[in-house]
Structure 1
Amino acid sequence: MSTLVIVGAGPGLGLSLAEKFGKKDFNVALIARNQDRLDTLQASLTDMNIKSAGFSADVTNEQQIADAFTQVRETFGQIDVLVYNAGVIAPVSAAETTADIANQHMQVNIIGGISSAQQVIPEMIERKQGTIFFTGGGASELTVTPILTTLSIGKSGLRSYAHCLHDELQDQGVYVGMLSIAGVIEEGTYFSADNIADEYLDMYEKQDVAERFYVDESEDSDAVLKDTYTSEGQA
């Protein structure tokens, strides 16, 4: 069986990704900070007859990430697909963004993604096979979203890294892709976690582009993001 690793696993998109790939005969390794949450996710996947395991690690701690990936290999063997799904989504305006806040958020939004990718890149190059995915922020990457300044900075940087990796590794048998979600993940909508997970699975099967934008053409994504984070304070 193949193995999927989800860094930043949670009950929304993370669980849907685990279910979609698990039903395609993937073992699923879940990485997140909260062990109780990991145990709950694993129990849900067990009920679906999907083999999984949770590994606690803080993405801002490179040693913890390295240790978690070592445990994944000890449990499941080689890693075939990595999805970096961690991110800090916080309503912070440009004027309120201090260097300290930016640094804290960048550790999750960019540095954790690089640390995670480095755990699998050498072995994927060696066997000339493997897939690395990053979850992007859609509108926050390419347009001005002042209420989400640190997310915009982070996802823009992660997008650049993903494209650089794609261009560098595509001739070495390693596929790197980014799915940029231009909206707020919410069940019962176009942006439901299951719909987005289906898009990821399609990208994995086709491996034809460096990036896809998941956009509801009937909505103004900038306005939706602004309204959501201004009225609720957070997602």
Structure 2
Amino acid sequence: MSTLVVVGTGPGLGRSLAEKFGKNGFEVALIARNQTNLDALQASLSEQGITSAGFAADVTDEQQLAGAFSKVRETFGQIDVLIYNAGVIAPVSAAETTAQIANQHLQVNIIGGISSAQQVIGEMVDRQQGTIFFTGGGATELTVTPFLTTLSIGKSGLRSYAHCLHEELASQGVYVGMLSIAGVIQEGTYFSAANIADEYFDMYQKRDAAERFYIDESEEADAVLKETYTSQ
């Protein structure tokens, strides 16, 4: 069987990604900070007939992350697909963004993504096969979003990294892609986690673009983001 690793596994998109890929022949490795939450998700996936295991690690700690990936290989063997889904979404304006805040948030929003990719690039290039995905925030990457300054900085940087990696590794059999979600993930809407997981799996199957934007044309994404995160 193939193995998917989801870094930044929570009850929303991370869970839906595990379910979507798991129901399509993947064993699933779950990485997040809280082992108790991972164990609960693993039990839920098991009830659906999906083989999975959770490995606790903080994406800002490269040693912890490397240890988690090592355990993934011990448990499942080679890693076929990596999805970096971690992020800090915090309403911090540009004027309020200090160097300390920016550094803390960027460790998750971009550095953790690079660290995770580095855990699999070598083996995928050696096999001339593999897939690396990053979850992006469409409205924060390409437009001015001052109330989410640190997220905008991080996702813009992660987007650049994803595109550079795509160009570099495509000829070596490794597909790198980014799904940029221009909205707030919420069940019962166009932006439900299950819908987005379906889009990810379609990208995995088609391998036809470095990036897709997941956009509801009927909504003003920036306005929705502002209403959601400034009201918290």
Residue in 2 that maps onto 1:82: 82
Task: Encode CA deviations 1:126-162: one digit per residue, 9 max, x unaligned.
Answer: 0000000000001100001111000000000000000
Equivalent residue letter for 2:24: K
Equivalent residue letter for 1:46: S
1:146-185 matches, within 5 Å, as: 146-185=146-185
CA distance in 2, matches of 1:226, 1:14: 23
CA distance in 2, matches of 1:127, 1:98: 43
Q: Percent identity?
A: 81
SS at structure 2 position matched to 1:176: strand
Q: Structure 1 residue 196 and structure 2 residue 196: aligned?
A: yes
Equivalent residue letter for 1:178: M
1:75-224 matches, within 5 Å, as: 75-224=75-224
Residue in 1 that maps onto 2:38: 38
Structure 1: gaps of 5 or more residues: none
Task: Encode CA deviations 1:180-203: one digit per residue, 9 max, x unaligned.
Answer: 000000000000000000000000
Residue in 2 that maps onto 1:15: 15
Shift of 1:230: 1.3
Task: Encode CA deviations 1:17-62: one digit per residue, 9 max, x unaligned.
Answer: 0000001110000000001110111011001010000000000000
Shift of 1:211: 0.1
SS at structure 1 position matched to 2:146: coil
CA distance in 1, matches of 2:230, 2:143: 17
SS at structure 2 position matched to 1:82: strand
Equivalent residue letter for 2:51: K
Residue in 1 that maps onto 2:68: 68
SS at structure 1 position matched to 2:183: coil
TM-score normalised per structure 2: 1.00
CA distance in 1, matches of 2:25, 2:132: 18
CA distance in 1, matches of 2:71, 2:87: 23
Shift of 1:73: 0.2
Equivalent residue letter for 1:94: A
CA distance in 1, matches of 2:11, 2:68: 20
Structure 2: gaps of 5 or more residues: none
CA distance in 1, matches of 2:39, 2:11: 11
CA distance in 2, matches of 1:211, 1:77: 28
Task: Encode CA deviations 1:114-137: one digit per residue, 9 max, x unaligned.
Answer: 000000000000000000000000
Number of aligned residue pairs: give it.
232
CA distance in 2, matches of 1:205, 1:196: 14
Runs of 4+ in 1 over 2 A off after TM superposition: none
SS at structure 2 position matched to 1:147: helix
Equivalent residue letter for 1:221: A
CA distance in 1, matches of 2:134, 2:221: 20
Residue in 1 that maps onto 2:59: 59
CA distance in 1, matches of 2:156, 2:184: 17
CA distance in 2, matches of 1:147, 1:47: 41
CA distance in 1, matches of 2:190, 2:3: 28
CA distance in 2, matches of 1:15, 1:222: 26
Shift of 1:174: 0.0
